[in-house]
A and B are shown apart, each in its own frame.
Chain A
Amino acid sequence: MSQQPSPDTNHQRYWRANLKLMGLLLAIWFIVSFGFGILLAKPLNRIEFFGFKFGFWWAQQGSIYVFVALIFIYAAAMRRIDRKHGVSDDDQSEPS
């Protein structure tokens, strides 16, 4: 994880963009499951959400939906970042 400040190569910029995206998505991963589903479940349970207590819903339903979305968002966003930095595997559908 240690990056030299300079010289800033393309690969280093690519890697930093990747880490930034990853950090953001993992923060959401943590907030919905450990945050809403566990640490804040009790206070959130006072809120009603479509017939569920809200904390309970996050713990047994909501967090799983968010997990699925996070992976697809990562896959799509990384494709863009791959292409922008010219390191994508687009033309490597059938190697050798």
Chain B
Amino acid sequence: MDVQALTYLFVIGSFALYIGIAVWSRAASTGEFYVAEGGVHPVANGMATAADWMSAASFISMAGIIAFMGYDGAVYLMGWTGGYVLLALLLAPYLRKFGEFTVPDFIGARYYSNAARVVAVVCLIVVSFTYVAGQMRGVGIVFSHFLNVDIIWGVVIGMAVVFFYAVLGGMKGITYTQVAQYCVLIFAYLVPAIFISLLITDIPIPQIGLGAAVNDGSGLMVLEKLDRTLVDLGFGAYTDGSKAMIDVFAITLALMIGTAGLPHVIVRFFTVPKVSDARRSAGYALLFIALLYTTAPAVGAFARLNFIDTVQDAPYAEVDEWFKRWEDIGLVGWQDKNADGAIQYAPGVPFDGPPVFTGERGEQGQRTLANLPSASANEVYVDRDIMVLANPEIAALPGWVIALVAAGGLAAALSTAAGLLLVISTSVSHDLMKKTLARGISDRQELRYARIAAATAIVIAGYLGINPPAFVAQVVAFAFGLAAASLFPAILLGIFSQRATKEGAIAGMLVGLMFTFAYIAYFKFVEPGRNNADHWWFGISPEGIGALGAALNFATALIVSRLTPAVPAPVKALIASIRVPAGVERPHDHP
């Protein structure tokens, strides 16, 4: 079978599996729809959390980003894993003991205020929609590249599948499909990584291969060879960063607390039976995530080596087929600046902006670009995403591995999209309708609202996936920054401080949210020309500003809490009760 047929087989097979699981685990009550009745085994929940967490960005983009950032890529590696330590130690067990359905439920009850609940709902919806648009986009990319389906049809098919199992199965359906999706995506990630590690170092474990010697007879270590190659070409060394230390610090911190504050991750810990299970389950989740996250730096380094080996000084006419294939899709571009017919790779951008193809072919058969060449010697434009997608081709791996990567990318994107859509629909049907606008509706009505909200959210997300706002890549900074600056401090103080009042929490969330929003919006959209270290506050980039936003949130909440009437006695009793595991109940509505 050719690669195309294999890819269809893998993708259709995995979709059939997900839908089969959804039918088997159909949700009948709001308890099942929202939190799977709190009956999920901690290991299964760990896998589901890992699939939920690892998005199209983790699967497709991260290794490519690390490949081009070198040491600086550590901000994502540590930032997106270290948050689980905070989640496991500071939030998950207590929120599980609290025992309702949503994050706004907790904020609303702990801060005895519907206003606080609504602020939390707004934060949640902004954060989650930002995220979900990116997932749908990932689905579209995989379909169009591997299956030659138009990107629009790719998104529509993805929407249909998510619709089927998220709307039907709710949390219960999502949880068990995510377990399957984790298995698909981790297998699809590790197989090519192992092959490439063997190819370059003869060692099958990528984590060890990254520290081993290259098998080309030079006797150099992988990272040593990469450092030397890059320095020879005029880049900085791979193992040195180019970001300022304070910025690396701030971005890592913002991503960590942003991760711990993401509602679709937190809510996964409402699904396990007990408090002790919530702690353990966070450990399993991070273990399953770490499997991919410790492999990614190896994939990134190997891919960069492979890429330079293939491309550097290769005459275009003789370069490997994959280069031309990805050029046809528009993710690679080449401009023969010195007219020698060979490809030169060097620091700096090759030309202004993203490639604009004229539709004609140059002398060597390359696609001609309309962009103005830059002053640098670099002739190659590479989209970072192809580092994972094209890696199996670059390393000349068998067809079934390429097919597997397609199925894995889809699993990663669909599982995250489903988890996000669920928290969006839950917060609409439960927090906005049941608890605020339409009090006293029955369980059945609420479930219907949840399904309608999920369906609406899927259509909006699909629309955003097909017509991505130009700033899709930029708004990722929003999602983490806002989660870090708004939700995390409010939840943390709610558990650990008896003094934090509703006024304090609301003021804190608003200050954190508005400050972070304004800072990012200013540098990303209002004055993008000033987005550099000379103008940043304390040298902190918009990606890292969530850390400062969170600090402002904490400070505001603590000061305002001192000036306002103390927390009422029933709420103090609630705080005392969530601090001990004994007496945990199945999640339910408190009257």
Do the two chains bind? yes
CB distance from A51 to the nearest CB of B (A): 3
CB of B10 within 8 Å of the partner chain: no
The docked-state distance in angstroms from the alpha carbon of A77 to that of B33 is 33
Are A63 and B82 interface neighbours, CB within 8 A? yes
The docked-state distance in angstroms from the alpha carbon of A18 to that of B585 is 22
CB-defined interface of A34-73 with B at 8 Å, one 1/0 digit per residue? Answer: 1001110100010001111100110111011101101110
CB of B44 within 8 Å of the partner chain: no
Q: Which residue of B lies closest to A96 (CB)?
A: B586
Known: A74-B88, A75-B88. A11 touches B276 (CB 8 A): no
Are B581 and A82 interface neighbours, CB within 8 A? yes
Known: A56-B239, A61-B207, A75-B276. A68 touches B581 (CB 8 A): no
CB-defined interface of B202-242 with A at 8 Å, one 1/0 digit per residue? Answer: 00000110111100000001110000000000000001000
CB distance from A82 to the nearest CB of B (A): 6
Are A95 and B585 interface neighbours, CB within 8 A? yes
CB of A89 within 8 Å of the partner chain: yes
The docked-state distance in angstroms from the alpha carbon of A96 to that of B588 is 11
Q: How extensive is the interface on chain A, given as a class? A: 35 or more
Q: Which residue of B lies closest to A94 (CB)?
A: B273
Are B276 and A68 interface neighbours, CB within 8 A? no
The docked-state distance in angstroms from the alpha carbon of A92 to that of B294 is 36
Are B77 and A51 interface neighbours, CB within 8 A? no
CB distance from A6 to the nearest CB of B (A): 17
Are A70 and B85 interface neighbours, CB within 8 A? yes
Are A64 and B89 interface neighbours, CB within 8 A? no
Are A63 and B239 interface neighbours, CB within 8 A? no
Residues in A whose Cβ lies below 8 Å from that of B287: 68
CB of B252 within 8 Å of the partner chain: yes
The docked-state distance in angstroms from the alpha carbon of A77 to that of B223 is 38
Q: How extensive is the interface on chain B, given as a class? A: 35 or more
CB distance from A33 to the nearest CB of B (A): 5
Residues in A whose Cβ lies below 8 Å from that of B294: 61, 64-65
Known: A26-B89, A51-B222, A60-B73. A67 touches B274 (CB 8 A): no
CB of B545 within 8 Å of the partner chain: no
Residues in B whose Cβ lies below 8 Å from that of A82: 276, 581-582
Q: Which residue of B lies closest to A48 (CB)?
A: B221
CB of B497 within 8 Å of the partner chain: yes
Are A34 and B585 interface neighbours, CB within 8 A? no
Q: Which residue of A lies closest to B80 (CB)?
A: A64
Which of B13-21, B278-286, B314-322 is found at the contact surface with chain A? Answer: B278-286
Q: Tell me which residues from 1 to 41 in chain A have a Cβ below 8 Å from any Cβ of chain B.
A: 1-2, 11, 14-15, 18, 22, 25-26, 29, 33-34, 37-39, 41
Are A60 and B77 interface neighbours, CB within 8 A? yes
Are B279 and A87 interface neighbours, CB within 8 A? no
Q: Tell me which residues from 78 to 100 in chain B have a Cβ below 8 Å from any Cβ of chain A.
A: 78, 81-82, 84-85, 88-90, 93
CB of B290 within 8 Å of the partner chain: yes
Are A1 and B276 interface neighbours, CB within 8 A? no
Which of A50, A71, A96 contacts B84 (CB under 8 A)?
A: A71
CB of B122 within 8 Å of the partner chain: no
In this complex, the member of B211, B249, B496, B499 whose beta carbon has the largest number of chain A beta carbons within 10 angstroms is B211
CB of B498 within 8 Å of the partner chain: yes
CB distance from B73 to the nearest CB of A (A): 7
CB distance from B474 to the nearest CB of A (A): 24
Residues in B whose Cβ lies below 8 Å from that of A79: 276
Q: Which residue of B lies closest to A26 (CB)?
A: B89
Which of A11, A60, A71, A93 contacts B576 (CB under 8 A)?
A: A11
Which of A51, A52, A61, A95 contacts B586 (CB under 8 A)?
A: A95
CB of B557 within 8 Å of the partner chain: no
The docked-state distance in angstroms from the alpha carbon of A60 to that of B283 is 19
CB of B297 within 8 Å of the partner chain: yes
CB-defined interface of B60-88 with A at 8 Å, one 1/0 digit per residue? Answer: 00000010000101100110011011001
Are A11 and B579 interface neighbours, CB within 8 A? yes
In this complex, the member of B90, B283, B496 whose beta carbon has the largest number of chain A beta carbons within 10 angstroms is B283
CB distance from B498 to the nearest CB of A (A): 7
Are A89 and B82 interface neighbours, CB within 8 A? no
Residues in A whose Cβ lies below 8 Å from that of B223: 51-53, 56
CB of B381 within 8 Å of the partner chain: no
CB distance from A90 to the nearest CB of B (A): 8
CB of B293 within 8 Å of the partner chain: yes
Are B78 and A33 interface neighbours, CB within 8 A? yes
CB of B188 within 8 Å of the partner chain: no
The docked-state distance in angstroms from the alpha carbon of A11 to that of B212 is 51
Are B89 and A22 interface neighbours, CB within 8 A? yes
The docked-state distance in angstroms from the alpha carbon of A25 to that of B85 is 9
Which of B89, B213, B576, B584 contacts A95 (CB under 8 A)?
A: B584
Residues in A whose Cβ lies below 8 Å from that of B66: 60
CB distance from B538 to the nearest CB of A (A): 15
The docked-state distance in angstroms from the alpha carbon of A45 to that of B237 is 12
The docked-state distance in angstroms from the alpha carbon of A14 to that of B239 is 45
20 new A-B pairs (CB below 8 Å) besides A34-B253, A60-B71?
A11-B576, A37-B78, A49-B211, A59-B71, A59-B78, A61-B210, A61-B294, A64-B78, A65-B290, A67-B290, A71-B89, A71-B283, A71-B286, A74-B88, A75-B280, A82-B582, A86-B582, A87-B581, A88-B581, A89-B274
Q: Which 6 A-B pairs have the closest CB atoms?
A: A51-B211, A59-B74, A71-B283, A75-B279, A87-B580, A89-B581
Report 7 cross-chain contacts, Cβ distance below 8 Å, ordered by A residue: A22-B89, A25-B85, A53-B239, A67-B84, A78-B279, A87-B581, A96-B586
User: Which B residues contact A (CB, under 8 angstroms)?
Assistant: 38, 66, 71, 73-74, 77-78, 81-82, 84-85, 88-90, 93, 207-208, 210-213, 221-223, 239, 245, 248-249, 252-253, 273-276, 279-280, 282-283, 286-287, 290, 293-294, 297, 496-499, 576, 579-586
